[in-house]
Amino acid sequence: MKDTLIKAALAIIATIAAAASSPSRAQETDGKALFLKNCAACHQATGKGIPGAFPALAGSKFAQGPGNEVASVLLKGRGGMPDFSDSLSDSDIATVLTFVRSSWGNKADGLNAEQVASLRTTLGVDPFGNSAMSNKH
């Protein structure tokens, strides 16, 4: 009886630990942290941007559009937005974009590091970490 209770308790603890550290929850947390560190100054923590200065990502058709187009902006920059190709890895870019594309009512599929790496090659952007001046932001 005692052994059964111990096994049951361990099974419950393992289940709770697995749920707390599930990849989707961890990625959401990491994506939010990356967004707050790299993007929120302009696009705001709410994703609403600053009208006339920085576009909203919340409800944005562009942010929810084709993943390669959104990732291209982070890899090459656009308008007044700098590129993040030297300061964010392919995994980081995929993680932050997955967060943006699924937050504030947005409902678009996430991206993975392989998709970003392939796009980086297609665009002719140096692989992450190859720049002499990496982490420029």
Tokens for 12, please give them.
């419950």
Name the domain count of the chain: 1
CATH code, domain carrying 83: 1.10.760.10
The β-bridge partners of 78 are: 81
Give the model's pLDDT for residue 20: 42
Q: Is pLDDT at 5 greater than 90 in this prediction?
A: no
Q: Quick one: which of 83, 68, 84, 82 has its CA closest to 116? A: 68
* Domain of residue 116, residue span: 24-123
**C-alpha torsion sign, points 65, 66, 68, 72:** negative
Assess if residue 106 is contained within a domain: yes
pTM for the model stands at 0.75
Q: List, for residues 92-120, the tens digit of each pLDDT value.
A: 999 999 999 999 999 999 999 999 999 99
Give the model's pLDDT for residue 75: 97
Give the model's pLDDT for residue 136: 46
Assess if residue 80 is contained within a domain: yes
Give the model's pLDDT for residue 133: 53
